[in-house]
Amino acid sequence: MSRGILALVGNHPNRSKTNRQVDANPTPSEILRAREDAGLTQQQAADLLFSSWRTWQDWERGERRMHPSSWEAFNIKLRARKLLAAGEISPALLRRLGVYLPPLE
């Protein structure tokens, strides 16, 4: 690989710990707060994203960084749950939108 390509990879926004743009990786405290505010266990939160409990735990501990697309999907699903509970959206519409919400156990 040429040095120029390696420099580009090293500067990728998802690898930068200082990048705090809108589409940046969430911090461990943001992930923890969102999950707790939603009243979810780590396993329930992981199930929303089809990830493992261990991966979720690593995100909250800061051992791994959550990708912005996973963060966005998690927030979309949390909002979808609220809309569904309030009767503002139907399960059929969620299916048409391709949003899967596993049942809470």
Two structure tokens written together for 46: 């992981």
Q: How far apart are CA 32 and CA 83, in angstroms?
A: 22
Task: Quote helix, strand, coil % in the chain, to nearest 5.
Answer: 60, 0, 40
Is the pTM higher than 0.85?
Answer: no
pLDDT for residue 4: 53
pLDDT per position as a tens digit, 13-56? 555 555 555 568 999 999 999 999 999 999 999 999 999 999 99
Report the alpha-carbon distance of residue 74 to residue 24 in Å, rounded: 14
pLDDT at 1: 47
